[in-house]
Structure 1
Amino acid sequence: MAEYSSPFVAGPGGIMTDDVGVITGELELRTVLAEDGSVRAEVRYEGADEWYALTGGACALKDPEDLSAVHELLVGVLNRPEG
């Protein structure tokens, strides 16, 4: 199982999760590739223990090498420190 993790700041309106609804502020994104090729994106408050499933943050990859690109794309879309 491979994974990437990066800090980011949610923009106005926050980030929607399946578990607790919207979360805001300084967050961390974790993108995890399971052995079956499925990817899940999770977020948490920076430094917290509990991860929450990012709404719409699941997909499948044909090539495991694409995980890094998917992670960087998500960070680019989610990181909105100035709105």
Structure 2
Amino acid sequence: MSERQPGSASAGMTADGTPPGRADVPGAGMSADAAPPGGAPEGAGSQQRTSDITAGPGGVMTDEVGVVTGELTLCTEYADGQVTLHVQYKDADEWYVVTGGQVPLAEPASLDAVHAIAVALLDRPEG
């Protein structure tokens, strides 16, 4: 089994080419410059958002280990024109790619929306 650790967050560039400052994103515990999960090395042009979630019935399917259930951390990472969803058991070291959770993303500014949708779909504490 391979382990995948998301790269660290960077604020990226705005449409006019100026680097934005730190921006806290309300809700879901997101922050534009969040510390990298697992202390992964910083990747050029990489951005990420993380949130703690509770998997619903059936859990979350991953490429590496199959279904994971219970208290999880979700990381939505943008790098090199692609967004990838990763999950880990809360406070664990190993990260797993969510099955079907890799797609092209033309605009890095869309990362917040993609993360919010992923959280809404996967966070099911009530079942």
Bigger strand fraction: 1
Structure 1 counterpart of 2:98, which letter? L
1:81 and 2:122 correspond = no
SS in 2 for 1:50: coil
Structure-1 residue corresponding to 2:96: 52
Instruction: Give the Cα–Cα distance (whole angstroms) in 2 for the partners of residues 2 and 61 of structure 1.
Output: 12
Amino acid at match of 2:82: S
- Percent same amino acid at aligned positions? 54
| Residues 57-78 of structure 1: per-residue CA shift (max 9 Å, x gap) | 0011111100110001000000
State how many pairs are aligned. 82
| 2:90 paired with 1:43 | no
Deviations 1:37-80 (A, max 9, x none): 11110000000010000001001111110011000100000000
SS at match of 2:57: coil
Structure 2 counterpart of 1:9: 54
Equivalent residue, structure 1, for 2:69 = 24
TM-score by length of structure 1 reads 0.96
Please provide the CA RMSD for this pair.
Answer: 0.5
Calculate the TM-score normalised by the size of structure 2.
0.64
Q: Which has the bigger relative contact order, CA under 8 A and spacing at least 6?
A: 1
The structure that has the greater radius of gyration is 2
Q: Which runs of 5+ in 2 are unaligned?
A: 1-45
Poorly superposed stretches of 4+, deviation over 6 Å: none
Letter of the 2:88 partner, please give it.
Answer: R
